[in-house]
Amino acid sequence: MKPNLIPNPNPNQNANPNPSPNPKPNPISNPNRIGKALLYLLFLSYVCVALNIILFKTIPLTSLFADRFFDLRSINLVPLRTIIGYLQEPVDIEKALVNIGGNIGIFVPLGLFVFYIGGPKSFGRQISFLFLTTLFLEVAQYALALGSSDVDDILLNAAGGAIGIRIGQAMKRTFEDPNRLLLAHVVFLCAAGLAGIAAIAQVDGRLLPFSASRTVFIEENPEIMGDLREAEADMVGRLLSIDEDALILQTSSKMRTGRNSSIAGEERVTVALDASAKMVIRRVRSEKNRVVSHYEEGSLPKLQALMNGKESAPAVRVWLSGDKSLVADAVLVSEIERDHSTRPPPMKSKAP
């Protein structure tokens, strides 16, 4: 008897009716995707902490919503002046290390992240991006009147970013496998984050976004202000110059009348200075969770000495005489004290 040689009309009837030649991988089981998600989460946390430290280290974020009239700016455009000041002034070595080392260390994670996502971009382009980033933050700090802007901060931040890039390059040479390289970045950022949080909590815990500490505003010698109320000042701006007869300020005031002229888009006003005008100097400093405003009696020599060597004009508020003429009845000049110099600047006597 011959076997049945009739072909099967449906040869695939026993095969899988829904073949899946390219099954999609389970995202939960993909370590590369999980690692990248964790890396970006760590970077986002780092950005929140870094912005709080860079922008609100002197004038805290809470002051923007408090009933305070901080409009303080200072700027240093001379490279290495602040760094040399830290090293030459008889200050606590801890403060010098915190300011110099902190400005370097805070940009190391950013440099590492820029290298990781930058791919084949050159070292010069990555450094340029870091430089522009820190420059933008310093400009924003000055524009928002959140404290002192310093070219030395830019240099130190850029140095920290360069260190981060070099660390990333060393990791890439050590770990050729992409997954192991990603894991190395995650581990490094976790370790750096824990070390950074511990250091910040030790130095100034209020700089941490999740800190429970509250900023306390302290006024020293507020009686010097007498009946003056900052909210009632007639003019607000920057003090450009002052002599025994008048002061010149760049206004951002509620009052825009009198002898003024538009110079390069900036309005300048000359205000006569009454011989009996009250002068007050306010020096603002940040001490961990405290913002201290120290008031002292001012004088023409003191105000002129305060302005000497300043790259930026100090903030000023002017109260005019009762008839609203451009004659100053009282003047309040505010400045931010650097961490390495909490004492009033010495008086400079002019040679005869």
Q: What is the pLDDT of residues 26-80, one digit of tens each?
A: 444 456 888 899 999 999 999 988 998 888 876 666 665 555 555 666 788 889 8
Using a pLDDT cut of 70, give the percent of the chain over it: 72
Shared domain for 163 and 226, answered yes or no, is no
On whether residue 22 sits in a domain, the answer given is: no
73/157 Cα distance (integer angstroms): 20
On whether residue 5 sits in a domain, the answer given is: no
Say how many C-beta atoms besides its own lie within 10 A of residue 318's C-beta. Answer: 27
Question: What's the pLDDT at 66?
Answer: 56
On whether residue 203 sits in a domain, the answer given is: yes
On whether residue 186 sits in a domain, the answer given is: yes
* Ranges 104-118, 251-265, 317-331: which has the least confidence: 251-265
Shared domain for 37 and 172, answered yes or no, is yes
On whether residue 109 sits in a domain, the answer given is: yes
User: What are φ and ψ of residue 270, in 5° steps?
Assistant: -100, 125
Shared domain for 42 and 189, answered yes or no, is yes
Shared domain for 270 and 188, answered yes or no, is no
pTM, to two decimals: 0.64
Question: What's the pLDDT at 115?
Answer: 94
340/321 Cα distance (integer angstroms): 38
On whether residue 342 sits in a domain, the answer given is: no
Question: What's the pLDDT at 263?
Answer: 36
Q: 207, 241, 269 — which closes off a domain?
A: 207
Shared domain for 195 and 245, answered yes or no, is no
Shared domain for 110 and 156, answered yes or no, is yes
Question: What's the pLDDT at 341?
Answer: 38
Shared domain for 145 and 220, answered yes or no, is no
Shared domain for 153 and 301, answered yes or no, is no
Q: Which domain holds residue 129?
A: 31-207
Question: What's the pLDDT at 9?
Answer: 54
On whether residue 344 sits in a domain, the answer given is: no
Question: What's the pLDDT at 349?
Answer: 37
On whether residue 179 sits in a domain, the answer given is: yes
Is the predicted pLDDT of residue 91 greater than 60, yes or no? no
Q: 181, 207, 233 — which closes off a domain?
A: 207
Number of domains in the chain: 2
Shared domain for 172 and 236, answered yes or no, is no
Q: 148, 178, 207 — which closes off a domain?
A: 207
Average pLDDT of the chain, as a whole number: 78
Shared domain for 72 and 133, answered yes or no, is yes
pLDDT digits (tens, 9 = 90+) for 267-319: 788 999 888 899 999 998 877 667 788 999 999 889 888 887 666 778 888 99
